[in-house]
Amino acid sequence: MEKLKGFVVNGLKITPSGGVDTTPFTISGAASFKSGAKDANGNQISVGCLLRIEANAAAGALRVTARTMHPLCSLSLKNVVVATIRHLL
């Protein structure tokens, strides 16, 4: 979990959410990602993201939950995290 937390915090630049997790087997955090898309003023659009990774050691399973206002951003964030988990294991 520490390697994964390091990737989430340092690699994805997601700020851990303090006081949310009651177990060391859960990682929660939030970030704002700038997309390549521009708004009407020509500024990059920022997308708020929430991420939660829960480990169930007894079942040998992980649950990755990503939430954003844009479904494709949520899917992309989840896919990056899942691919990294597979690489770290």
Assign domain 2-88 one CATH number from 3.40.50.1370, 3.65.10.10, 3.30.310.10, 3.40.1190.20: 3.30.310.10
The verdict on pTM exceeding 0.95 is no
pLDDT digit string (tens) for the chain, length 89 residues = 888 888 889 988 999 988 887 788 999 999 998 888 898 999 998 999 999 999 998 898 999 999 999 898 899 999 999 998 888 87
Distances (CA, A) of 41 to 14, 30, 46, 80: 27, 26, 13, 30
Give residue 85's pLDDT.
Answer: 86
Task: Identify the pLDDT of residue 52.
Answer: 94
**89: exposed, middle or buried (C-beta count within 10 Å: 0-12, 13-18, 19+)?**
exposed
pLDDT of residue 22: 78
Q: How many CB atoms lie within 10 A of CB 18?
A: 8
For position 18, what pLDDT does the model report? 81
